[in-house]
Amino acid sequence: MTNDLFLVIGVVVLALSVPSILGSLIDRRTPRTPAIMVLIGGVLVVLAVTQQPGGYSIQDIPDAFVRVIGRYLR
């Protein structure tokens, strides 16, 4: 379950970094915070994929979201 949680948090952080990157580039600022967010999200995703026996495929990502959300809503 920990690997699923790492994967979900990593994907969410990566998704949230995209608008921040675009905002920094449009405002002609250095994207320092978005770069840190990409680094953290990427490390979490790589950690989850390498620690999961057999790894994750693209089709496993929605199932991981459902397992994580289901665990915390129960």
Q: At what angle do helices 60-73 and 2-26 cross, to 10 degrees?
A: 110
Lowest model confidence (mean pLDDT) among 7-11, 17-21, 51-55: 51-55
Provide the total of helices (H) and of strands (E) in the chain, helices listed first: 3, 0
pLDDT of 28-44, one tens digit each? Answer: 999 899 999 999 999 99
Structure token pair of residue 63: 């199932």
Each domain of the chain, given as residue ranges in start order, spans 2-73
Query: CA distances (Å), 10 to each of 20, 26, 37, 50, in order?
Result: 16, 25, 9, 13
Evaluate if residue 17 carries a pLDDT over 90: yes
Q: pTM score, two decimals? A: 0.89
Evaluate if residue 1 carries a pLDDT over 90: no
Burial class (CB in 10 A: 0-12, 13-18, 19+), 9: middle
Compute the average pLDDT of residues 38-53.
95
The confidence score (pLDDT) of residue 64 equals: 93
